[in-house]
Structure 1
């Protein structure tokens, strides 16, 4: 006859065998039952066996567990309704011990305890291990645009993502480039170089006649009076004295001997032909110009004198006409008091 004091120990050993069979085998079937309690210490502990085709009441299996000891599944896991270790608990989300819960697969998470299912990671987030209580944001330079992702995709060369949890990458703008994958920002082309299209992976040197300082993004044409005949230059050269530069992408041209070309000249400057001639750094009057000025000045002076004389003559004529009535006043023919009007007066002696 067996010792009654050994029964609790045997039940504990059988429960341990039940736990081992649930955790080491493939997910247990729901149609299982406690078949027997093996008392021999050398016999392997096997508590749950399946009987194909024969439905077995769960109540028989659940009666072997202390369901008051059920615990909520920890964050990062969910309860397994395919095993009695969870199904025998009175509320969903509870299992007899945390090891009976199912861990969330990669790409999903569960931040709360005692939950029935795991949640997929949102776009721009990922988790690459099981049992995760949260998802991680994709770092800058990477992205993903699907839910439930277990990894992020690096931005391809020529594109970037500067923020975390990005769902896409943006192409590099004009004047910037990225020559590797996973760029968090695009770089500005160095001095003397530019990127002529969006999404560039390299820079090209500035053409002759153009330049680009480091602070600018695109090459600029040289200013008037400047030139640059080399590729990839940071600045232009000013056209030297006694030369002129009609185009910024050609060498300076020697100034003609009869022209002026100060520093920065776009074209040679000439004195007015016939009337002026070059004298050092200035223009002077030609001899023919001096002669013409003298003759012209004399003619102008003579004309002025003639105009003054004519004006004076006209003025004198006008005065004569105005005085004539006063000097030659005509008297009418007749007699006054029997004396002709034009007779000399006679003193009467009065």
Structure 2
């Protein structure tokens, strides 16, 4: 024996399902009249098949509910348009789910919203959009996916709307890079957005922590490609350029380690003796002659100075010498003087 309230509930559910299925035909009531043919040749009276579209009065609009987040009101179905307020439907299943690239975070909404730039959603009925992960970007709205950064570019943050080219000295050789890598030791990237690094040329080097290749320092050389460091020019050789092999030092020159050019002794006056320069014989002779001339000049100068000093001393003594008394003078009077009578 059936329970008292079970039959009305089953009848209401059956009617609701039938009305939902009837939404596939939203045309006015139609009549199809087809004569039946009989084997006996007697024409039977026409049979009428009627399909009637339900009206809003056939729905229990008191059960209208707001469309759930991730869906929107469907104004093309009676299950929604019969409800008094837009955004409500007879049951949530009658609402339209948001398509990919669109979302709706609120309930009872009439339309879905497109995902902003840098966001996406790849399934229907989404209440939210997802951020583009690092290494990808999205510069349009309503997208269902993000695009990976091309080789030579990167995006290090979420929700990127564009990718940034790799700077000088760094590279990215694949798509979807979240950061660029620094070129390894002995290699460099001479332009931005590099997909690979090139080896340092001969005469140059680059350590792992450096960005660009550097020219070898003075007295160093490097003749190979892609080197991390340069070599010191060896002893008895000189290196005029960092990208050539060391050159053998001439026999009459000096070339210590790190030499840029050979060093020579001064010709005529010096000559090489082992690792040093010594005086040539002609230089020694010139020094002896020069020394003798200088000594003679000094002696002559001293003698002359002494002679001049003696002459000056004689002149200074002349006023002090006594003068010879002339003849004819007695007691201080000249001999031709006339006597003077004094009287007594």
**Bin for the TM-score computed over the shorter chain:** 0.7 to 0.9
> What is the deviation of 1:324?
3.0
Q: Does 1:49 align with 2:42?
A: no
Structure 2: give runs of 5+ residues left out of the alignment.
30-49, 337-344
Q: Does 1:217 align with 2:221?
A: no
Structure 2 counterpart SS, 1:278: strand
Q: 1:266 aligns with which of 260, 272, 277?
A: 260
Q: Per-residue displacement from partner, 1:255-293 (whole Å, max 9, x unpaired)?
A: 111111111111111111111111111111112111211
Query: Cα–Cα, structure 1 residues 68 and 7, in superposed 2: closer, same or farther, change >3 Å?
Result: closer
Paired position in structure 1 for 2:238: 244
Alignment of 1:1-350 (within 5 A): 10-22=11-23, 25=24, 49=53, 61-327=55-321, 340=333
Query: Cα–Cα, structure 1 residues 311 and 18, in superposed 2: closer, same or farther, change >3 Å?
Result: same
Contact 1:242 1:261 (8 Å CA) reproduced: yes
Paired position in structure 1 for 2:341: none
Q: Distance in 2 between matches of 1:269 and 1:90?
A: 106
Structure 2 counterpart SS, 1:156: coil
Query: Cα–Cα, structure 1 residues 273 and 84, in superposed 2: closer, same or farther, change >3 Å?
Result: same
> What is the deviation of 1:254?
0.7
Q: Distance in 2 between matches of 1:305 and 1:92?
A: 132
Contact 2:22 2:53 (8 Å CA) reproduced: no
Contact 1:192 1:232 (8 Å CA) reproduced: yes
Q: Distance in 2 between matches of 1:342 and 1:186?
A: 135
Structure 2 counterpart SS, 1:111: coil
Q: Distance in 2 between matches of 1:330 and 1:306?
A: 39
Paired position in structure 2 for 1:54: none
Q: Distance in 2 between matches of 1:302 and 1:226?
A: 54
Q: Distance in 1 between matches of 2:322 and 2:122?
A: 138
> What is the deviation of 1:184?
1.6
Question: Across the two proteins, how many residue pairs are aligned to each other?
Answer: 308
Contact 1:21 1:48 (8 Å CA) reproduced: no
Q: Per-residue displacement from partner, 1:7-41 (whole Å, max 9, x unpaired)?
A: 7754442223113334xx3xx75x879xxxxxxxx
Query: Cα–Cα, structure 1 residues 172 and 327, in superposed 2: closer, same or farther, change >3 Å?
Result: same
Q: Distance in 2 between matches of 1:314 and 1:48?
A: 158
Structure 1: give runs of 5+ residues left out of the alignment.
34-45, 51-60, 344-350
Contact 1:271 1:283 (8 Å CA) reproduced: yes
Q: Per-residue displacement from partner, 1:90-134 (whole Å, max 9, x unpaired)?
A: 332222221111111111111122222211111111111111111
> What is the deviation of 1:82?
2.4
Contact 2:121 2:145 (8 Å CA) reproduced: yes
Contact 1:15 1:47 (8 Å CA) reproduced: no
TM-score when normalising by structure 2: 0.80
Contact 1:18 1:48 (8 Å CA) reproduced: no
Q: Per-residue displacement from partner, 1:298-328 (whole Å, max 9, x unpaired)?
A: 2222222222332333333333333333436
Q: Write out the 4+ residue segments of structure 1 that deviate beyond 6 Å after TM superposition.
A: 5-8, 328-331
Query: Cα–Cα, structure 1 residues 342 and 49, in superposed 2: closer, same or farther, change >3 Å?
Result: farther
**Alpha carbon RMSD of aligned pairs, Å?**
3.0
Q: Distance in 1 between matches of 2:223 and 2:335?
A: 112
Q: Distance in 2 between matches of 1:112 and 1:329?
A: 148
TM-score when normalising by structure 1: 0.79
